[in-house]
Amino acid sequence: MGWRSITGARPIFPDASISPTLGMANRAQAADRLSASILIVDDHDIVRQGVRVILRSRAEWEVCGEAENGLEALEKVAALQPDIVVLDVSMPYKDGLAVARELVQMNASCKIVILTMHNSTEIASAVRRTGAQGFVVKSHAAKDLVRAIETILSGSDFFAIDPMLTLHQEADRQTASHPAVPPPAPPDEK
C-alpha cells in the first residue's frame, strides 16, 4: 500500500523513489532530482510575494526571478532559463495563455504551471490546449501549488479543479440546454 495524504486523495510523494522508508542518502538524491529554478509571473506584487512564501517550503527550489506581465515573462524566460514558470492568466500586454502557447512553440525547456483565479473547466481546458503542464486555482494555491510543481518535476501533469464547481457547471449547462417547460395553462372558464 502506498503512502497517502491524510484525506487519502493523493499520494504525498508523487515520485515513488521518495518515501519515508528510504535512507537519508537516497532521500537527498531524490530531492536533488526535484530541485528547480522557478520564475513567478503575476501582475500583482502581493500574489508574487505569496507564491514566494509558499515555495519557501522547499529548500531545493529557488525563485530565480519575477515578472509583472507577459512580455517581461518571455524576456526573463530567455535570460534566466527557469525549470518552472508559474504564470497568471490575466495580465497586461500579453496574457498567460498566449505566453504559455509561445513558450511551447519556442520549445522552451521550462515547464508551465498556470496559477489563476478562474476556477472553471473551460479555462482549465484552454490551459491544457496551450501545452502547459499544470493548472492551479489561486484560492487553492496553499495546498496545490507545491504538489503541482512536485508532480510536474516528476514528469506528470497536474490540473486541479474544484470538483464541486465541475458539478455545478454541469448542472448549469443541463439547465440551459433543457429549459424548464412551463406548466399547461389552466382551462378557460366561461
For residue 22 the three cell numbers come to 528510504
Which pLDDT score is estimated for 182? 55
In the three-class reduction of DSSP (H, G, I as helix; E, B as strand; rest coil), residue 14 is classed as: coil
Residues 6+ apart with CB under 8 A from 129: none
Entry pTM: 0.70
Which pLDDT score is estimated for 188? 67
Which pLDDT score is estimated for 28? 44
How do strand 84-87 and strand 61-67 relate by DSSP bridges? unpaired
**Tens-digit pLDDT profile for the chain (190 aa)?**
333 333 333 333 343 333 343 344 444 444 445 789 999 999 999 999 999 999 999 999 999 999 999 999 999 999 999 999 999 999 999 999 999 999 999 998 999 999 999 888 888 889 999 999 999 999 889 989 999 999 999 999 999 876 555 444 455 555 555 555 555 666 665 5
Structural domains of the chain, with CATH: 37-173 (3.40.50.2300)
Which pLDDT score is estimated for 34? 77
- Which position has the grid cell 516528476? 154
For residue 174 the three cell numbers come to 443541463
